[in-house]
Structure 1
Amino acid sequence: MASRETRLRALALYKELHRLGREYPDPSYDFHGRMRKLFEKNRTLTDKDEIENALKLGEYIKNETLALYSLRKYRHLKRMYPPGSSSTTDSS
């Protein structure tokens, strides 16, 4: 049986992933549906090591999603400036 702390960690992770999924760039991917299926599949885990591995996978997915969003923002900012414009100036 999972401890209370583990259950709270899983719920917090689910909420974070749910919030991150709102801005997922590809609507055809069904981020929320896939996330829900993963959590439902792992609902019956009882071994502490298996639970910990599932939580680590969830954290990995969260970090990769955050990296995807950061990259998307960076690419958008890069497109906003014309090519060849530089923030450094020549003083010679």
Structure 2
Amino acid sequence: GAMANSLRAEVVRLYKNLLYLGREYPKGADYFRDRLRAAFAKNKSVQEPEQIKEMIARGEYMARELEALYYLRKYRAMKKRYYKD
């Protein structure tokens, strides 16, 4: 139905966002992409809207964690550059 379709669009958006964030992943973009693809493929058959919503929420949480990680890393690198003891 329409519900599943709008959720599918959200899943695609989340996937692209995570893929974008994965470019800076410490273990490498390829490693991240493979893991991401596997995770999404594994859940591809899920039809239940509540389950899909839960997985989207989990993915968005992951995205925020990655953003925080990168932000901290950039911040530390900047601090080192500007405040050499």
Q: Please give the TM-score of this superposition, normalised by the length of structure 2.
A: 0.88
What is the 5 A alignment of 1:3-14?
Answer: 3-14=4-15
Question: 1:26: Cα distance to partner?
Answer: 2.2
Per the alignment, residue 89 of structure 1 pairs with: none
Verify: 1:32 aligned to 2:20, yes or no. no
Per the alignment, residue 82 of structure 1 pairs with: 84
Larger radius of gyration: 1
Greater than 4 Å deviation, 4+ residue runs: none
Offset from partner CA, 1:4-40 (integer Å, 9 cap, x none): 1101000000111111111112229811111111100
Unaligned runs of 5+ in 2: none
Give 1:27's aligned amino acid. Answer: G
Q: Is the 2:22–2:32 Cα contact (8 Å) retained in structure 1?
A: yes
Distance 2:29 2:17 in 1: 20
**Cα–Cα, structure 1 residues 28 and 6, in superposed 2: closer, same or farther, change >3 Å?**
closer
Flag the structure with higher helix content.
2
Give 2:31's aligned amino acid. Answer: D
